[in-house]
Copies of this chain bind each other. A is one copy, B any other.
Amino acid sequence: MVAVTLEELARRFRGRVHGDGAREIDGVATLADAGPRDIAFLANPSFHRYLDTTRAAAVILNEDDVRRFSGNALVVDNPHLYFARIAALLNPDPQWEPGVHRSATVAESARIAATAWIGPQTVVEAGAVIGEGVFIGPGCFVDRGAQIGAGSRLVAHVTVCRGCVVGRRCIIHPGAVIGSDGFGYARDGVSWVKVPQLGRVVLGDDVDVGANTTIDRGALGDTVVADGVKLDNLIQIAHNVQIGEHTAMAAFVGIAGSVVIGKRCTFGGRAGIAGHLEIADDVHVTGTSLVSGSITKPGVYSSAISCEEAGAWRKNAARIRQLDALVRRVKELEQKVQRLIEGEELD
């Protein structure tokens, strides 16, 4: 267990101490659950009510909130970010020794950095390159010629297919599949003929890939995920997609083939993008929304419909099927009323 004083934290991550700088911290917690050696944070106004009763050793908050707080505090611009940094400091990843577990299967021609770890039951094929400080957990598969950049972590049961590239400091969660074949077929009468998928997946640095997420290799050319992209669980990225820097996607997002997505975009859970579209930088698509045309301007886009009590919904949903007819009825009414107003004869 690491222990640090408020003062040390303030010095290390830049922040202003309010109260007792010698107070020792050795854990992080929520305002509601914190004990007397924990630091908590306040980023969301709806948690103000916990400020008076928290037992936390100190609270990370901003200049506005510190005014109403009499306890110990670290005053910072971005409490959530600051909290993330302190939480990481106080909860370091478990230590591990480099090496290759005796139960792993590593091809002779694979190049494994001296500071890397290849876990139990993991398979590394010919020509793969595993960088410095890489941690490959149990049951992973790194196929021929794949590359894992320095400092990356494949947690467990991760598949990286032939020739694919994972950048530096990436985290790939269990069950993720990097570089499976894209869904490409040509028609031959009624049959489908597989189109060989010859490209790779190339992940930049600091890319996180969630559990059971799948990223398909390019058909011709590569599927490219730029630096700093964060993908949640159970996402599908089809072949030849390009995702710009620092874009983030929540669970179940589906991106069809050859879509080009800009930088700093966000996609809520279950958002989808149809194939071959382009999405500008700084576009935010709300959860459950479907993008079926290119988006050229930054902004927030949506087509999500919230549920209501099922009886009421059924009536409204049935009316959607009559909408076009309804619009025509309204148009006709408008014409009739206009003629009534103008005193014309109506038949």
Contact = CB atoms under 8 A, between A and B. Distances in A.
Interface stretch (A1-9, A17-25, A61-69, A295-303): A295-303
A300 B346 CA distance: 41
A113 interface: no
Interface in A45-103: 78, 80-81, 83-85, 87-88, 91, 94, 101, 103
A317 B288 CA distance: 13
Given A287-B274, A330-B326, A340-B341, A192 B230 contact: yes
A248 interface: yes
B246 A177 contact: no
Contacts of A316: 320-324
A263 B299 CA distance: 39
15 contacts: A33-B221, A80-B187, A83-B186, A91-B196, A121-B122, A141-B174, A159-B211, A173-B180, A175-B177, A192-B246, A214-B234, A236-B252, A290-B304, A290-B306, A302-B310
A250 B214 CA distance: 13
B299 A303 contact: no
Interface string A206-238: 101011101010001100000010101110101
Nearest to A185: B230
Given A177-B211, A177-B233, A192-B230, 9 more contacts: A121-B122, A141-B157, A157-B159, A171-B181, A192-B246, A300-B310, A302-B308, A320-B323, A326-B326
Copies of this chain per assembly: 3
Given A214-B211, A308-B321, A310-B302, A139 B156 contact: no
B105 A101 contact: yes
A319 B323 contact: yes
B321 A214 contact: no
A309 B161 CA distance: 38
Interface in A171-201: 171, 173-175, 177, 180-181, 183-188, 190-196, 198
Contact of A121 (B105, B269, B292): B105
Nearest to A82: B186
Given A210-B180, A254-B252, A194 B88 contact: yes
Given A180-B155, A221-B30, A329-B330, A293 B320 contact: no
A118 interface: no
Q: Report the contact-size class of chain A (Cβ under 8 Å from the partner).
A: 35 or more
B290 A307 contact: yes
Contact of A304 (B155, B211, B220, B317): B317
A304 to B, nearest CB: 6
A194 B324 CA distance: 46
A261 to B, nearest CB: 14
Interface string A315-347: 111111111101101100110110011000010
A84 B174 contact: no
Nearest to A238: B251
A183 B253 CA distance: 13
A303 B307 contact: yes
Contacts of A161: 155-156, 174
Contacts of A206: 191
Contacts of A305: 290, 303, 305, 317, 320
A285 interface: yes
